[in-house]
C-alpha cells in the first residue's frame, strides 16, 4: 500500500505593517531570520523555510543585519531559505497593472541575485484575486498560483453550485478571460493548517486526527499540504521532532518537512482528470457577501488617491517622457527602480487597503511623497531635454514658446495650465531686490494684450488665471544656484487632439490682431452645452444631462448620498437606522465660474445636514469586539452642516465632463457617495480592473446576504444597453456599486470609521478622515457603438494622465515643432507602459485589449521593428506582433532596424 504523503512547509506570513507600526514588526522579523539561520546550522533535518513569497523581507533584514548577508546567501543557495518570486505581497485590485508587473520584475531580479526564486505565484491573503492572474503568471514564467480567498471549496459530499467560483478540490484549474489556464492551489483550510505541531504524543494524535481529516476533505491527491506557520509566526524550532512523532503515530502516512517545489512536483504527477476549472476574477462571489473585504477599496480614500497619482506619474508621465527624451544609455533605470520600490513598499495588502493602525498609514504618506519627488525630478529633467530637442522657432521675437506633451497612449483633448515667465530679474543684477520687484510690478501693469498661437500663427483659446511677481530659483547643473524674481502669467489653454506620445509647441505672445470669440457654451440660465452633451441644472441641485447625438436624457446625475457606517476599515455596515441623506433634500447654490473659448465651469455648493457620528452604542460594540453583522448602533441626533463644493467643467471639444468635489469633513462614522442614475436597460456593468475590462452582474448571487455589493475599479465603470451608455471615470476612487433597481452608479468619495477591525479592537481615529477632502471624477455619455464606448474608456483612463507642459526658449532642434514618438492606431489597445527596455537599447510598450474581440494591432515607430516578449523582456517567438486577442496582454520590444 502506497503511503499518503504529508508535505509540511514551515513559513511565516509576514504582514510588513498592520496592527503594529512597521518597525515593531520589523524588529520581530530580524529575530525570526536570526533564529532561522541558527536552526539551519543546528538542525540537519530542517528542510527549509518559505519566506512568504516576498523579497522585501530580505531588504528589511539586511538593513539591520548587513553582516549576515553571506550566511543568508549561503542558506538560499543551499535551498534552506526559499525566496521570491515577488517583491511584496500586494493587493491585486488596488494597485495598477504596471505596479503588479513591476512587483514581479523587481522580485525576480532580486531573487536571482541570490539564486533561484520559488516558481509559484503566491497570494496567500490577497483580498480577492484579479481575473488576469493566469495570463499574468504565464507572462511571468509561472504556471501555478496559490491563494487563500475567492473560491469556495465544496469537498466530496457537496455539489458545486457555480463552476466559476467553487471547486470540489483545493486543487483546480484557473482560466483567465483570454483563455490562459494555470494550476490553482487554494489554502482551503487556510495557510495555518499545520501550525504549532505538538511533540507530545497524545496531543499530536488529537491534532493530526483533525488536521488530516480536514486536508483529505478537499485534497485531489494523496499529497497533503500542511502550512506550518501563520501571521508573524515565530519559526517552530522543534518541528522536525514533531514530524518524527507523527511518522511513529501514523504508519500509513509519510510526514515530510518540505518545500513548495517538491510538493508541487509530487502533486502534479498525481493529478486526477476531474479537476474543476474556475474562471476569471475570484472575489468570493458565491458567499454571503460580508467578508469579501471589498470595502477596503474605500478605507482611507486619501491613500488610494495619492497612490493613483504616484502610479500615473511613474508609468504614464515620467517613463514615457524619459523614453522620448533620452538615448538608451542615459535612461535613468536606477532612479526609476528606486522610485518604484518606494511606491511598492506602500502596496502590501494591509498597507494600500488602509486597514492598519494609524501609525502605518502616516508612514505611507512619507513614502508616497518620496516616490513622488523622485518621479517629478525625472519627469522635469526629461521634459527639459525633450523640449531642447524640439524646434521652437517660427514665432515672433517677443513670444514665449512652451511645449505641450501627451504622454498617454491615446489621442487626448482637454486643457492644460502653464505658468509663463514673461520677464525676470536675477538677484545678482543691478539694483536691490526691492527695486527689481518694483520694476517688475510696473512692467506687469503695462502688459500688452496677449494671445496664444500655434506654430502656424493660428490663435488657440486660452484663459488668464493669474498674474503675479514671484520669487524663484534655478539650479544649473554646472554652476551655483540662481535666485530671481519674475513676472509670471498662469494660463489655461485649450488643447485639441494631441496624439498619443505626441507634442506641439505653442506660444504666448502680444496679440497681432483681435481674435473673435467663439460661440458661447451657455445656452440659457439653467443650461450649458457643446456639440455632444447638454447639461441642465435641475431644481433639486442634480443635473439633467442629454446625449445630443442620441437624444437620451439622464435625470438625477450628481446626487450626493451620506449614510452611517458602523463597520470598520475592512467592511462597510450601515447603521441600524438605515438613514440615507440625499443632497436633493437640501438647499444648494450654483454659479458659472468660467464661460469662455476654453470651456465652461459651473460651481455647485450643496448644503447637507449630517449627523456628527454614530451614537454611543458603536464604541461599546467596538470595544466588546462585536461582529459587525450583529451591531445595532444608530447615527447621532446631533446634526451639523456639510457643504460640498463641486466644479463641473465642460470643454468645448470633449465629450467628457470633469468634476471635482471638495469639502471639509468633520463628521465620523459615515460614508459619502456621488450617484449617477441611468435607468439603462442592462443587467451587467463593465469596469476597468487589472489588464482587463471586467463584466460583472449588477445583482449579486442568490447566496448574498450583505445589503450592499461593493466592487473594485481602476479608472472607470460603465453601464450601457442596446442604445446608450454612461462611463464614469475617477482618480483614486476605487470603490463603486451598481444600485440595481435604477441602474445607478454610486462612486464612494469617502468612508469614515474608527477601528481597524479583524481580530481585536484597534482604535483608528485617523481613519475617520477628518479635514479637507478633494475628489476628482468624470462622466461621459456614448451611443450604442463600440467605437464610442471604447473611446470613453480611453478618455476615462487618460483623465488620470495630465498633459506635460514646459516653457522653453526659441531654438532649433532635431525634432519638429509638432510630432509623435510612435503611433497607435488601435482604438482597443489600452497602453499601460512605454519605457526603455531593461536589458537592451530598445523600447518596451505594454497594453491590453479593452474589448473581448480580436483586433489587428497597429503600433509603429519609423525604422523600428517589433517583437513580442514576456514581462521580463524574454522573447515569445510564437506570439504574433500584429494581432491582439480578446483580453490579451501584450508587451512589444521595439528595436531599431
pLDDT tens digit sequence for 368-390: 999 999 999 999 999 999 999 99
Residue 163: pLDDT band (50, 70, 90) is low
Residues 12, 93 within the same domain: yes
Chain Cα centroid distance, residue 836 = 22
The whole-angstrom separation of Cα 130 and Cα 112 is 26
Any idea which residue has 443635473 for its cell?
Answer: 543
Neighbours of 786 (CB within 10 A): 14
- Looking at the domain assignment, is residue 384 inside a domain? no
Q: Return d(Cα 176, Cα 172) in angstroms, integer.
A: 13
- 3-state secondary structure (DSSP) of residue 832: strand
Q: Which H or E run contains 893?
A: strand 889-896
Residues listed for the chain: 897
Is residue 503 in some structural domain? yes
- In whole angstroms, what is the distance from residue 257 CA to residue 241 CA? 10
The position carrying cell 504666448 is 508
Are the beta carbons of 726 and 676 closer than 8 angstroms?
yes
Q: Is the pLDDT of residue 468 over 60?
A: yes
Helix 333-344, helix 97-114: angle, nearest 10? 110
Q: In whole angstroms, how far apart are CA 125 and each of 12, 90, 299, 341?
A: 12, 9, 18, 21
Statement to judge: residues 741 and 864 lie in one domain: no
Q: Which of 854, 729, 858 is nearest to 792 (CA)?
A: 729
Please work out, in degrees rounded to the nearest 5, the angle formed at the alpha carbon of residue 345 by the alpha carbons of 343 and 346. 70
Residue 154 has pLDDT above 80, yes or no: no
In a domain, 812, yes or no: no
d(CA 541, CA 537): 6
Which residues are CB-contacts of 74 (< 8 A; sequence separation ≥ 6)?
none
Query: Could you tell me the CATH number of the domain that includes residue 230?
Result: 3.20.110.10
What average pLDDT does the segment 226-252 reach? 98
Whether residues 96 and 238 share a domain: the answer is yes
DSSP 8-state class, residue 315: I
Choose one of 376, 409, 425: the last residue of a domain: 376
Segment 187-210 shows an average pLDDT of 97
Q: What is the pLDDT of residue 741?
A: 85
E-strand ranges in 624-765 read 639-651, 657-665, 670-677, 684-688, 693-697, 711-712, 716-720, 724-730, 735-739, 744-752
Distances 66 to 38, 77, 117, 872 between C-alpha atoms, Å: 16, 18, 21, 29
Find the catalytic residue in 60, 125, 315, 381: 125
Domain count, the chain: 5
Neighbours of 493 (CB within 10 A): 21
pLDDT value at 156 more than 80 = no
Residue 414 and residue 511 in one domain: yes
**With the CA atoms of 106, 108, 110 and 111 taken in that order, what torsion angle do they form, in degrees rounded to the nearest 10?**
160
Q: Are 731 and 309 in contact (CB under 8 A)?
A: yes
Domain boundary among 778, 807, 836: 807
Q: What is the pLDDT of residues 512-541, one digit of tens each?
A: 888 888 899 988 889 999 999 999 999 999
Mean pLDDT of 134-155: 92
Please give the residue range of the domain that contains residue 409. Answer: 400-517+803-807
Find out whether 493 and 462 touch, Cβ atoms under 8 Å: yes
Say if residue 277 is in the same domain as residue 298. Answer: no
Closest CA to 49 of 61, 67, 37, 60: 37
| Residue 733 clears pLDDT 90, i.e. is over it | yes
Residues 45, 160: one domain?
yes
Does residue 547 carry a pLDDT above 50? yes
Q: pLDDT value at position 160? A: 42
Share of the chain above pLDDT 90, in %: 94
Beta bridge partners of 727: 718, 780
| pLDDT tens digits, 50-79 | 999 999 999 999 999 999 999 999 999 999
Residue 730 belongs to domain with CATH number = 2.70.98.30
Contact between residue 419 and residue 489 where contact means Cβ atoms under 8 Å apart: yes
Is residue 798 included in any domain, yes or no?
no
Q: For residue 157, what pLDDT is reported? A: 47
Better-scored residue on pLDDT, 839 or 575: 575
Is 128 inside a domain boundary? Answer: yes
Q: Are residues 589 and 631 in the same domain?
A: yes
Asked whether the predicted pLDDT for residue 407 surpasses 70, the reply is yes
Q: What is the pLDDT of residues 472-487, one digit of tens each?
A: 999 999 999 999 999 9
C-alpha cell at 697: 452582474
Q: What is the CATH number of the domain that holds 408?
A: 2.60.40.2210
Separation of alpha carbons 20 and 13, rounded Å: 15
The rounded distance, in Å, linking the Cα atoms of 361 and 767 is 9
CA atoms within 13 A on the CB side of 802: 18
Q: Say if residue 31 is preceded by a cis peptide, omega within 30 of 0.
A: no
159 pLDDT exceeds 50? no
pLDDT higher than threshold 80 for residue 158: no
Structural domain includes residue 250:
yes
- CA–CA dist 775, 131 (Å, integer): 28
pTM: 0.96
* 248, 268: one domain: yes
Owner of C-alpha cell 491615446: 410
Q: What is the dihedral of CA 122, 63, 66, 116, to 10 degrees?
A: 20
E strand spans, 550-702: 553-564, 580-582, 588-595, 599-611, 639-651, 657-665, 670-677, 684-688, 693-697
Average of pLDDT values for 815-834?
97
The partner residues of 778 in beta bridges, in order of sequence, read 658, 729
In this prediction, residue 796 carries a pLDDT of 99
Do 275 and 305 fall into the same domain? no
Q: So what's the pLDDT on residue 153?
A: 78
Model confidence at 848, in pLDDT bands (50, 70, 90)? very high
Give the whole-angstrom CA distance, residue 877 versus residue 584.
Answer: 59
| Average pLDDT over every residue of 825-848 | 96
Looking up residue 339, the CATH number of its domain turns out to be: 1.20.1270.50
From 376, 396, 379, select the one nearest 448 (Cα to Cα).
Answer: 396
From 747, 780, 807, the end of a domain falls on: 807
Residue 329 CA to chain centroid, in angstroms? 30
171 exposure class (CB count in 10 Å sphere: 0-12, 13-18, 19+)? buried
Q: How far from the centroid of its chain's Cα atoms is residue 69's Cα?
A: 34
Is 381 a member of any domain?
A: no
Place of cell 462614522: 669
Q: Is 601 helix (H, G, I), strand (E, B) or coil?
A: strand
Could you give the 3-state DSSP secondary structure of residue 751? strand
Do 724 and 863 lie in a common domain?
no
Q: What is the DSSP string of 449-511?
A: PEEEE-TTS-EE-EEEEEEEEEEEEE--SSS--EEEEEEEEEEEEEEEEEPTTEEEEEEEEE-
Residue 116 CA, chain-centre distance (Å), reads 29
Q: What is the pLDDT of residue 523?
A: 86
The per-residue pLDDT for range 327-358, each reduced to its tens digit, is 999 999 999 999 999 999 999 999 999 999 99
User: Phi and psi of 896, rounded to 5°?
Assistant: -65, 140
**212-222: pLDDT as tens digits:** 999 999 999 99
pLDDT at res. 2: 87
Task: Please give the full DSSP string across 381-419, using - where no structure is assigned.
Answer: HHHHHHHHHB---SS-TT-EEEEEEE-SSS-EEEEEEEE
Q: What is the DSSP letter of 760?
A: S
The reply to whether 687 and 702 lie within a common domain is: yes
CA within 13 Å, CB half, 74: 9
DSSP 313: I
Residue 395 lies in a domain: no
What CATH number is attached to the domain comprising 838?
Answer: 2.60.40.2220
125 is catalytic: yes
Q: Return the residue matching grid coordinates 502533486.
A: 267
**pLDDT tens profile 591-630:** 999 999 999 999 999 999 999 999 999 999 999 999 999 9
**For residue 829, what is the enclosing H or E element?**
strand 829-836
- Quote the mean pLDDT of the chain: 96
Residues 70 and 101 placed together within one structural domain of the fold: yes
Amino acid at each position: 500500500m502506497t503511503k499518503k504523503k504529508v508535505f509540511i512547509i514551515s513559513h511565516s506570513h509576514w504582514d510588513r505593517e498592520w496592527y503594529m507600526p512597521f518597525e515593531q514588526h520589523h524588529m520581530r522579523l530580524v529575530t525570526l531570520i536570526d533564529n532561522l539561520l541558527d536552526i539551519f546550522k543546528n538542525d540537519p533535518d530542517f528542510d527549509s523555510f518559505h519566506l512568504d513569497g516576498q523579497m522585501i523581507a530580505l531588504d528589511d533584514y539586511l538593513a539591520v543585519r548587513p553582516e549576515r548577508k553571506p550566511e543568508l546567501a549561503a542558506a538560499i543557495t543551499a535551498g534552506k531559505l526559499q525566496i521570491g518570486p515577488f517583491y511584496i505581497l500586494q493587493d491585486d485590485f488596488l494597485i495598477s497593472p504596471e505596479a503588479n508587473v513591476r512587483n514581479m520584475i523587481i522580485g525576480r531580479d532580486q531573487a536571482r541575485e541570490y539564486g533561484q526564486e520559488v516558481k509559484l505565484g503566491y497570494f496567500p491573503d490577497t483580498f480577492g484575486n484579479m481575473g488576469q492572474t493566469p495570463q499574468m503568471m504565464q507572462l511571468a514564467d509561472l504556471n501555478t498560483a496559490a491563494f487563500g480567498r475567492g473560491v469556495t471549496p465544496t469537498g466530496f459530499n457537496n455539489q458545486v453550485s457555480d463552476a466559476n467560483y467553487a471547486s470540489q478540490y483545493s486543487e483546480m484549474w484557473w482560466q483567465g478571460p483570454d483563455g490562459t489556464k494555470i494550476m490553482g492551489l487554494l489554502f482551503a483550510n487556510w495557510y495555518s493548517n499545520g501550525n504549532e505541531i505538538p511533540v507530545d504524543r497524545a496531543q499530536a494524535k488529537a491534532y493530526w486526527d483533525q488536521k488530516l481529516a480536514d486536508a483529505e476533505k478537499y485534497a485531489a491527491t494523496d499529497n497533503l499540504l500542511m502550512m506550518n506557520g501563520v501571521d508573524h509566526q515565530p519559526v517552530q524550532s522543534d518541528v522536525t521532532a514533531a514530524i518524527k512523532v507523527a511518522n511513529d503515530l501514523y504508519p500509513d502516512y509519510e510526514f515530510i518537512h518540505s518545500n513548495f517545489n517538491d510538493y508541487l512536483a509530487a502533486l502534479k504527477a498525481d493529478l486526477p482528470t476531474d479537476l474543476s476549472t474556475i474562471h476569471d476574477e475570484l472575489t468570493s462571489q458565491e458567499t454571503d457577501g460580508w467578508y469579501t473585504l471589498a470595502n477596503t477599496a474605500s478605507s482611507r480614500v486619501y491613500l488610494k488617491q495619492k497612490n493613483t497619482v504616484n502610479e500615473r506619474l511613474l508609468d504614464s508621465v515620467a517613463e514615457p517622457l524619459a523614453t522620448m527624451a533620452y538615448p538608451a544609455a542615459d535612461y535613468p533605470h536606477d532612479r526609476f527602480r528606486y522610485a518604484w520600490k518606494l511606491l511598492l513598499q506602500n502596496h502590501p495588502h494591509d498597507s494600500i487597503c488602509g486597514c492598519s493602525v494609524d501609525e502605518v498609514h502616516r508612514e505611507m504618506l512619507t513614502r508616497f511623497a518620496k516616490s513622488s519627488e523622485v518621479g517629478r525630478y525625472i519627469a522635469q529633467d526629461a521634459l527639459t531635454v525633450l523640449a531642447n530637442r524640439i524646434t521652437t522657432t517660427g514665432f515672433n521675437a517677443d513670444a514665449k514658446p512652451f511645449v505641450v506633451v501627451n504622454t498617454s497612449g491615446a489621442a487626448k483633448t482637454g486643457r492644460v495650465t502653464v505658468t509663463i515667465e514673461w520677464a525676470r530679474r536675477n538677484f545678482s543684477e543691478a539694483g536691490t531686490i526691492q527695486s527689481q520687484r518694483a520694476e517688475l510690478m510696473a512692467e506687469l501693469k503695462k502688459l500688452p494684450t496677449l494671445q496664444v498661437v500655434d506654430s502656424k500663427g493660428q490663435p488657440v483659446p486660452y484663459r488668464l488665471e493669474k498674474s503675479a511677481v514671484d520669487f524663484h530659483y534655478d539650479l544649473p547643473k554646472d554652476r551655483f544656484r540662481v535666485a530671481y524674481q519674475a513676472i509670471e502669467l498662469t494660463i489655461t489653454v485649450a488643447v485639441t487632439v494631441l496624439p498619443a506620445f505626441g507634442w506641439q509647441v505653442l506660444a504666448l505672445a502680444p496679440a497681432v490682431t483681435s481674435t473673435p470669440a467663439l460661440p458661447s457654451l451657455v445656452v440659457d440660465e439653467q443650461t450649458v452645452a457643446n456639440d455632444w452633451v447638454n447639461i441642465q441644472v435641475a431644481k433639486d441641485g442634480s443635473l439633467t444631462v442629454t446625449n445630443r447625438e442620441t437624444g437620451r436624457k439622464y435625470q438625477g446625475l450628481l446626487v450626493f448620498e451620506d449614510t452611517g457606517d458602523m463597520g470598520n476599515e475592512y467592511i462597510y455596515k450601515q447603521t441600524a437606522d438605515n438613514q440615507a441623506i440625499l443632497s436633493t433634500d437640501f438647499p444648494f447654490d450654483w454659479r458659472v465660474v468660467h464661460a469662455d473659448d476654453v470651456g465652461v465651469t459651473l460651481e455647485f455648493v450643496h448644503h447637507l445636514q449630517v449627523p456628527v457620528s454614530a451614537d454611543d452604542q458603536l464604541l461599546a460594540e467596538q470595544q466588546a469586539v462585536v461582529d459587525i453583522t450583529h451591531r445595532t448602533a444608530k447615527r447621532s441626533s446631533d446634526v451639523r452642516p456639510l457643504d460640498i463644493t463641486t466644479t463641473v467643467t465642460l470643454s468645448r471639444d470633449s465629450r467628457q465632463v470633469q468634476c471635482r468635489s471638495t469639502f471639509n469633513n468633520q463628521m465620523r462614522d459615515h460614508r459619502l457617495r456621488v450617484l449617477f442614475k441611468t435607468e439603462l436597460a442592462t443587467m451587467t456593468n463593465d469596469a476597468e480592473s487589472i489588464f482587463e475590462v471586467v463584466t460583472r452582474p449588477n445583482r449579486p448571487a442568490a447566496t448574498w446576504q450583505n445589503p450592499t455589493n461593493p466592487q473594485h475599479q481602476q479608472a472607470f465603470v460603465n453601464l450601457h444597453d442596446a442604445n446608450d451608455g454612461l462611463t464614469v471615470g475617477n482618480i483614486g476612487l476605487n470603490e463603486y456599486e451598481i444600485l440595481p433597481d435604477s441602474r445607478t452608479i454610486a462612486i464612494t468619495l469617502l468612508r469614515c470609521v474608527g477601528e481597524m477591525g479583524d481580530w481585536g479592537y484597534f482604535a483608528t481615529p485617523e481613519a475617520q478622515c477628518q479635514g479637507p477632502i478633494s475628489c476628482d471624477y468624470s462622466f461621459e455619455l456614448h451611443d450604442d457603438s463600440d467605437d464610442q464606448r471604447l473611446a470613453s474608456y480611453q478618455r476615462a483612463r487618460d483623465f488620470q494622465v495630465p498633459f506635460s507642459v514646459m516653457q522653453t526658449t526659441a531654438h532649433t532642434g532635431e525634432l519638429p515643432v509638432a510630432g509623435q514618438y510612435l503611433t497607435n492606431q488601435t482604438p482597443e489597445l489600452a497602453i499601460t507602459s512605454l519605457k526603455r527596455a531593461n536589458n537592451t537599447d530598445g523600447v518596451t510598450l505594454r497594453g491590453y485589449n479593452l474589448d473581448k474581440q480580436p483586433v489587428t494591432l497597429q503600433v509603429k515607430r519609423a525604422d523600428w521593428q517589433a517583437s513580442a516578449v514576456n514581462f521580463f523582456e524574454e522573447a515569445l517567438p510564437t506570439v504574433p506582433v500584429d494581432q491582439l486577442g480578446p483580453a490579451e496582454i501584450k508587451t512589444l520590444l521595439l528595436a531599431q532596424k
